Structures are given as C-alpha cells and as structure tokens.
Amino acid sequence: MSSSDFRQIAIRTEAGKAERLFRAAVSAFCSLTRPSRREIAQLEDLTLPLFDEVSVESRRYVAAALSECEYAPTALVRRLAEEPVEIAAPLLTRSDALSDIDLIALIGRHGLPHARAIARRKELNPTIADLIRALERPTLVKTPPPDTITKLTPRPEPAAKADADRAASGEAADNARRRLRSMMRPAADAADVNTFLGQPAYVRLRETALTGNAAFFQTALADALEIDFATARAVTGQSGYAALLTALRALDLSEDRAFLIAVAVYPSEFPHPQAIRLFLDRYRLLHREAALDKVRAWKAEALSRSIRDKAADTTTVERRDASNGDDASSSLKAS
C-alpha cells in the first residue's frame, strides 16, 4: 500500500464521514512496512484536523493500532496521549514515539492515572520510575493539634547526623543530575531549535546547570539574558525557582526544556509529580511579555545600582582629594 491509498480513501469517503476516514487512514498507515517521512506527514495532516470530530471509540481504536506501530506519527501519538487514560493507555504502555520528556510532562499534567499506565512500560527510565513511586506513595505529614504546637520543642539533631543528612542530600542531587544528563542528551537532538535563544545557547544553559557549579550556570544565564553576573546570581541564589522560572520564560524556552533546566538547578524542589505539575502550570500561566518586563526591570535596577556605585566612588575620591589638600595646606602653614 502506498501514499496514494490515503487519497483514494479520502475520495471514497462521503463528506462528513470523519469517523470512517479517521479509522481507515490509520489502518492503511499501519499496514505499511516502512512508511516514508512524507507518508507520516500525510497521515498527520489528514487525521489531526479530524481529531475533535471523531468519537471516543475511534480515538481508542486508533490509539491501540498506533501503539503497535513502529513508525507511528509523533504528533498524532502525543495528541492521543493527552486523552484520558481509558484511551491513551496502549500508547502510554507501549509506544516508542513517546520520549522520556514526553512521559514526564504527561505525568505532570495528568497525574496518577497516566503514571500507572506509564509504569507498565518494559524499559522505563529509573528517574521516571522514581517519580511514579513517589506519586503512588506520597509522604504523609502529621500535624500536631493546635494546643500542642507551642508545648512541643524539637530536640536538636546531633551534629554528626546533620552532616550525614547534608552529605546524603548532596549525593542525591548529584545522582539526579547524572540521570537527567542521560535523559536530556538524546532529547536535545530531536527537539526543535528555539528561535529566540538558539540551540548553542540552550545547550550551554543545560550543560552548565548539570555541572552543579552555580557560577558556571549563572554566567551562561547572564549571557543569554544580557544581564550582569550579579543579577544572574541573585536570580538563582533564591530558595525557590520563581525568579528562574521568569528568566526561562523570558527566553521563550519550551516547557520541557525549562523544566529540565529548573530541576537541574533546583532538584530538591521536585520531590514528587505534583511539584512538576505545579511548575508546568505556573510556566504556562506566565505570559512572556510579563517575564520580559521583569527582566527589563532587573536590567534597570542593575544600571541604577551601577550609577549609584560610580557616584559613591566619585564622592569618595573627591573627599579624599579634599582631605589631602587640607593636609598639604596645614603642612605649609606649619612650616
């Protein structure tokens, strides 16, 4: 079967019969042994405009068919994966068209139902498996009754235990960075080039974030945003990622790239999938113009600070010169 079969299907299908065309096109595509890029693009062009017109049953049928297809069209698979798990489950469980980044984003957006389906994949990335386990067994925090809060005084931790906890936390962060590095390298090759930042600059941000050296990443961020190093250090030196989220949004990074950089810089901020979902929601709701306005405010503040510092230096020099002049006059009078 060739790409001309798709056109014949469209010709034979009566107007308005989206259901029949949707199913027939996918069935014909799945029968191809090795479809070309053109045929993959043709299927996406044909089916995506029909997506909202077809029934749940047709979407379920197509999801099941494409889950077994070695060369399934990525855009259509991603669209089906966003459907409720009753439809998307075959793709979430088996499809190779969904990358690790796609799976993380799906867990962040849809939570436990999608996560359970993804957990059934045969070769699941350990980082994603950890996220799913955290979602399955969230940490329970017991809050003492209000009348006992003021009565209970926590005992100070021994210094050795505190040092051990900090060392364990640092080791966990290093492990997370190494695992993220292995995930991000293949994703970068397939990702679209960002038109604002450009691939080389994004790679620099990503790689410096994964080194664990704050100064390296701050330098890369300063270069990307065209801000001074002190401002970049202030952006990433905060306890939370709010300022960094603004910076990444100003750079117009896609949400998956922004998340990967944020989790490399602030690994402890994402202990469970709910935290990932919160980040993605905040990133989508932040308008880029608002982020750019914030970056402009940072630049204006840095310029103002520089002017104040120069004025202070000038005043100090003038006072020193005046003091030296007074000392010289006193010496002449004394002589």
Q: What is the pLDDT along the chain (335 residues), one digit of tens a residue?
A: 554 555 555 544 444 578 889 999 999 999 988 899 899 989 999 999 999 999 999 999 999 999 989 889 999 999 999 999 999 999 999 999 998 888 888 887 888 899 999 999 988 888 888 888 877 775 443 444 444 433 434 444 455 555 555 555 556 555 555 555 555 444 444 333 343 344 467 888 988 888 888 888 999 999 999 888 999 999 998 888 999 999 999 999 988 889 989 988 998 888 888 888 899 999 999 999 999 999 998 988 888 877 777 766 666 666 676 666 655 555 555 55
Residue 216: count other Cβ atoms within 10 Å of its Cβ: 15
Instruction: State residue 322's pLDDT score.
Output: 63
Per residue, what are the HEC states of the chain?
CCCHHHHHHHHHCCCCCHHHHHHHHHHHHHCCCCCCHHHHHHHHHHHHHHHHHCCHHHHHHHHHHHHCCCCCCHHHHHHHHCCCHHHHHHHHHHCCCCCHHHHHHHHHHHCHHHHHHHCCCCCCCHHHHHHHHHHHCCCCCCCCCHHHHCCCCCCCCCHHHHHHHHHHHHHHHHHHHHHHHHHHHHHHHHCCCCCCCCHHHHHHHHHHHHHCCHHHHHHHHHHHHCCCHHHHHHHHCCCCCHHHHHHHHHCCCCHHHHHHHHHHHCHHHCCCHHHHHHHHHHHHHCCHHHHHHHHHHHHHHHHHHHHHHHHHHHHHHHHHHHHHHHHHHHHHHHC
At position 89, the amino acid (one-letter code) is A
* pLDDT computed for residue 22 by the predictor: 92
pLDDT score, position 105: 81
- Confidence at residue 324, expressed as pLDDT on a 0 to 100 scale: 65
Which of 235, 233, 217, 226 is CA-nearest to residue 197?
Answer: 226
Angle at the Cα of 223 from the Cα atoms of 221 and 229, rounded to 5 degrees: 70
